[in-house]
């Protein structure tokens, strides 16, 4: 696996492998089995697997957890290599947002509610960095987790609206044995907070918004809502101490 840090080195490294299918897995690092499941899926169907490792400041609204976001690039590099990633793109902030940067992608309605409402500017940052990564890597396939269901909906909208030529692959949410969805932010939870956080998967497992709301009673809930995405989900965001967690479950036709 090769690690590159600049756009020039990335383009150069990719130049030789343009004949086959290029797959991209955008990440912010602190890898867990959710990330690794995306790498494995990409490895299984692509000739070249590119992962990006970039904690994108643009998607963290002012005053949120950018500075405490977990980082461990050495471990990430090892895990990516072991899971079949060919090329790891790990740029500095100034490489993707050089001085003078001032062009942003604003996705409309689908980005306005839920995460968009509680984290203003979040999806503007996500859409912009993903468009940049899509342009730099030019993948035929890009891999995302259902864990961030609204993010997938926003990116699908952007791909359609801006006539991008790539397909998204969306992989199921990977959970710990106790039901908690894997997230880099779980590392920020104390043991007692982690115990309290289990209310989130338990609430969503009811697949019923009222029952879920009741099960989250006592936690600091940003939202718990049925969202008509493709597929429809019951999605929730809660704060446990100073850590914000999101999760969702897919609602099958019969339970709608
Ligand atoms: P992140 O590094 O948190 O930006 O996540 C990178 C990608 O991994 C995103 O597409 C996420 O949706 C996906 N992802 C994060 N957590 C999980 C999980 N528990 N299961 C599956 N995919 C995940």
pTM metric for this prediction: 0.97
Residue located nearest, by CA, to atom 14 of ligand 1: 145
Predicted local confidence at residue 19, as pLDDT: 87
Tens digit of each residue's pLDDT (9 = 90 or more) over 169-189 = 999 999 999 999 999 999 999
- Which whole-number Å values give the CA distances from 6 to 11, 89, 201, 251, in the listed order? 9, 8, 39, 41
**DSSP state, residue 30:** S
Q: Name the residue of 35, 50, 88, 179 whose CB sits within 8 Å of the most ligand 1 atoms, as the mutation to test its pocket.
A: 35
Say if strands 48-53 and 22-27 run parallel, antiparallel, or are unpaired. parallel
**DSSP state, residue 41:** H
Predicted local confidence at residue 83, as pLDDT: 98
Work out the pLDDT band at 256, boundaries 50, 70, 90.
very low
For helices 7-15 and 122-137, angle between their N-to-C axes, nearest 10 degrees: 40
Chain mean pLDDT for the chain? 96
Tens digit of each residue's pLDDT (9 = 90 or more) over 104-142 = 999 999 999 999 999 999 999 999 999 999 999 999 999
**DSSP per-residue codes, 124-169:** HHHHHHHHHHHHHH--SEEEEEGGGHHHHHHHHHHHHHTT---EEE
- Whether 35 is catalytic is yes
Question: ∠ CA 22-26-32 to the nearest 5 degrees?
Answer: 115
For 215, the enclosing helix (H) or strand (E) is helix 209-215
How far is the C-alpha of 121 from the C-alpha of 185, rounded, in Å? 20
Residue 59 has pLDDT above 60, yes or no: yes
For 45, the enclosing helix (H) or strand (E) is helix 33-45
Predicted local confidence at residue 16, as pLDDT: 85
How far is the C-alpha of 102 from the C-alpha of 98, rounded, in Å? 10
Cβ contact 112:128 at 8 Å:
no
Burial class from Cβ neighbours inside 10 Å (0-12, 13-18, 19+) for residue 222 reads: middle
- % of the chain exceeding 70 in pLDDT: 98
What backbone phi and psi angles, to 5 degrees, belong to 24?
-120, 135
Q: Is 182 in the pocket of ligand 1 (CB under 6 A)?
A: yes
What ligand 1 atom has the least distance to the C-alpha of 30?
A: 2
Q: Is 56 in the pocket of ligand 1 (CB under 6 A)?
A: no
How far is the C-alpha of 256 from the C-alpha of 248, rounded, in Å? 15
Task: Please name every residue paired with 220 in a beta bridge, in sequence order, or none if there are none.
Answer: 239
If DSSP codes are grouped into helix, strand and coil, which group holds residue 200? helix
Residue located nearest, by CA, to atom 18 of ligand 1: 34
How far is the C-alpha of 147 from the C-alpha of 144, rounded, in Å? 9
Q: Is 38 in the pocket of ligand 1 (CB under 6 A)?
A: yes
How far is the C-alpha of 154 from the C-alpha of 99, rounded, in Å? 27
């Amino acid at each position: 696996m090769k690690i590159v840090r600049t756009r020039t080195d990335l383009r150069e490294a990719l130049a030789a492998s343009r004949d086959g299918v290029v797959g991209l897995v955008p990440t912010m690092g602190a890898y867990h089995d959710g990330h690794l499941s995306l790498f494995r899926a990409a490895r299984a169907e692509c000739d070249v697997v590119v992962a990006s490792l970039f904690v994108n400041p643009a998607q963290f609204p002012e005053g949120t957890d950018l500075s405490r976001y977990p980082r461990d690039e050495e471990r990430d590099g090892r895990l990516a290599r072991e899971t079949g990633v060919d090329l790891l793109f790990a740029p500095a902030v100034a490489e993707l947002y050089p001085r003078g940067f001032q062009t942003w992608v604003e996705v409309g309605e689908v980005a306005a509610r839920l995460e968009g409402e509680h984290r203003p500017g979040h999806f503007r940052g996500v859409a912009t960095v993903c468009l940049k990564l899509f342009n730099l890597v030019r993948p035929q396939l890009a891999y995302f987790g259902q864990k961030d269901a609204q993010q997938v909906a926003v990116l699908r909208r952007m791909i359609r609206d801006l006539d991008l030529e790539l397909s998204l692959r969306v992989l199921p949410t990977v959970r710990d044995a106790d039901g908690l969805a894997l997230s880099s932010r779980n590392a920020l939870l104390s043991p007692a907070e982690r115990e309290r956080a289990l209310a989130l998967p338990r609430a969503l497992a009811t697949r019923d918004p009222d029952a879920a709301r009741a099960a989250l009673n006592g936690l600091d809930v940003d939202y718990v809502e049925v969202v008509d995405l493709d597929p429809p989900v019951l999605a929730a965001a809660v704060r446990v101490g100073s850590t914000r967690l999101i999760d969702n479950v897919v609602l099958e036709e019969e339970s709608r």
